[in-house]
C-alpha cells in the first residue's frame, strides 16, 4: 500500500482542531472549504491574512483556519476587524460569521462599516436561524418558517441581505448557495483582490436545527431545495432579490469602486501632519 497522501487543503487547517464540530451536512464546512481553496489559488501570504468571526456555529471557522484569527464576542467581529484593518491596512482582514451575529446583534456594525467603506471582507453563512443556541428565529428567517421560537410559523419579514449591503454602500455584493462551490470560490477570490467593504452571503444548509423543522431533515434535502430554487441573475436589482421558498436569486449584485476608509484616513492624517 502506498502511503496515504494528505488533503491538499489540510495545510490551511489547524490539525489539532479537526474534526470540526459541525453537524453532518452542515454548509459551514463547505464555506470553509471554498474559502481556503480561494486562499490557496491566490497563494495569499498567511502572515498577511486575518480571519475574524463572531459567536455561532459558523464562528468556529476562525479557530479552524491556520492563520492569525480571532473569535470575538457575539456581534462584534466587524468592530474587531475594523480595528485590525485600521491599525495595519496591509493586512487582508476577513470576517466569517452568521446571519444572527452579523445582522441581529451586530447589525449596526455591518451597516456602518459598509457606509464607511472599511476595507474588510465579510462572508455571512445564512442558515436562516440561530443554529448554535438551538434554532431560534433570526433576522433572515423566512416568513412562515418554523423555528423553536416560531412554532406556528414566522410572522416577521426577513432582511434581504444583499439589498441591505448594497444600500449601505458595499462595493462588492454577491450571493451564492453552498451548492455553487465553484462560483462561490471565484467570488471569494474576486473579493480578496478588491479594495473596500465587500460582502458575500452564502445560503447554507442547517439540516439539524433548521431543516428538520421545515420538512428538510437532511442536508441533501436542503441542497436539493437550493438547486431547485436558485436562479443566477448577475447584476440584477438587489431590492428584488428577496429569498422565498420558491426563488433564491444568486449572483453578483454590486461591483463598484469607491475610495476606502483606511486610505482616506491615512491620507487625511498625512495632510494634517504636513
Partner 1 sequence: MPERIWRKPLDMDKVKHPKADIHIIKDQCKGCGYCIQFCPQKVLEESEDINARGVHPPKIVDANECVICSFCTSVCPDFAIFVVEKPCEKGC
Ligand X SMILES: Cc1ncc(C[n+]2csc(CCOP(=O)(O)OP(=O)(O)O)c2C)c(N)n1
Chain contacts with ligand SF4 (rule: CB under 6 A):
22-23, 26, 28, 57, 127, 131-132, 206-209
Question: What track of x and - describes contact with ligand X for positions 40 through 79 (by CB under 6 A)?
Answer: ---------------xxxx---------------x-----
Q: Which long-range contacts (CB under 8 A, 24 or more apart) does 188-194 make?
A: 188/34, 188/35, 188/38, 188/123, 189/38, 189/41, 189/42, 190/255, 191/121, 192/38, 192/39, 192/42, 192/44, 192/92, 192/94, 192/121, 193/42, 194/255
Binding partner of residue 48 among partner 1, Mg ion, ligand SF4, none, CB cut-off 5 to 8 Å per kind? none
Residues 123, 200: contact at Cβ < 8 Å? Answer: yes
Using Cβ positions, the residue closest to Mg ion within the complex turns out to be 98
Residues 54, 75: contact at Cβ < 8 Å? Answer: yes
Question: What track of x and - describes contact with partner 1 for positions 150 through 169 (by CB under 8 A)?
Answer: --------------------
Q: Are strands 248-255 and 172-177 parallel, antiparallel or unpaired?
A: antiparallel
- Selected from 127, 147, 177, 187, the binder of Mg ion by CB under 5 A is 127
Instruction: Say how far apart CA 161 and CA 258 lie, in whole Å.
Output: 20
Window of 25-33, 194-202, 231-239, 260-268 that interacts with partner 1 by CB under 8 A = 25-33
Binding partner of residue 208 among ligand SF4, Mg ion, partner 1, none, CB cut-off 5 to 8 Å per kind? ligand SF4
Residue 219 interacts with partner 1 (CB under 8 A): yes or no: yes
Binding partner of residue 99 among ligand SF4, partner 1, Mg ion, none, CB cut-off 5 to 8 Å per kind? Mg ion
CA-CA distances (angstroms) from residue 214 to 32, 157, 207, 274?
Answer: 25, 17, 9, 61
Residue 92 interacts with Mg ion (CB under 5 A): yes or no: no
22 versus 226: smaller Cβ distance to ligand SF4: 22
Query: Which residues inside 28-57 make contact with partner 1, applying CB under 8 A?
Result: 28-30, 32-34, 37
Amino acid at each position: 500500500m502506498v502511503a496515504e497522501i494528505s488533503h491538499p487543503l489540510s495545510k490551511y487547517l489547524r490539525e489539532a482542531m479537526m474534526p470540526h464540530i459541525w453537524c453532518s451536512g452542515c454548509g459551514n464546512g463547505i464555506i470553509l472549504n471554498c474559502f481556503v481553496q480561494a486562499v490557496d489559488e491566490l497563494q495569499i501570504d498567511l502572515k498577511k491574512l486575518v480571519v475574524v468571526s463572531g459567536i455561532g456555529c459558523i464562528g468556529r471557522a476562525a479557530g479552524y483556519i491556520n492563520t492569525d484569527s480571532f473569535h470575538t464576542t457575539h456581534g462584534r467581529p466587524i468592530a474587531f476587524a475594523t480595528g485590525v484593518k485600521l491599525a495595519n491596512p496591509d493586512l487582508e482582514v476577513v470576517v466569517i460569521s452568521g446571519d444572527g451575529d452579523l445582522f441581529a446583534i451586530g447589525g449596526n456594525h455591518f451597516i456602518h462599516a459598509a457606509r464607511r467603506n472599511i476595507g474588510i471582507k465579510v462572508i455571512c453563512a445564512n442558515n436562516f436561524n440561530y443554529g448554535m443556541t438551538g434554532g431560534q428565529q433570526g433576522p433572515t428567517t423566512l416568513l412562515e418558517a418554523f423555528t423553536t421560537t416560531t412554532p406556528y410559523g414566522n410572522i416577521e419579514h426577513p432582511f434581504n441581505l444583499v439589498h441591505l449591503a448594497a444600500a449601505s454602500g458595499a462595493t462588492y455584493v454577491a450571493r451564492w448557495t453552498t451548492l455553487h462551490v465553484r462560483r462561490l470560490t471565484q467570488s471569494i477570490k474576486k473579493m480578496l483582490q478588491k479594495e473596500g467593504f465587500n460582502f458575500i452571503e452564502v445560503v447554507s444548509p442547517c439540516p439539524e436545527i433548521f431543516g428538520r423543522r421545515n420538512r428538510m431533515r437532511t442536508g441533501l434535502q436542503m441542497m436539493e431545495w437550493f438547486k431547485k430554487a436558485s436562479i443566477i441573475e448577475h447584476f440584477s436589482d438587489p431590492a428584488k432579490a428577496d429569498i422565498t421558498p420558491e426563488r433564491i436569486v444568486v449572483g453578483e449584485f454590486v461591483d463598484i469602486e469607491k475610495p476606502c476608509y483606511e486610505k482616506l484616513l491615512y491620507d487625511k492624517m498625512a495632510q494634517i501632519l504636513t
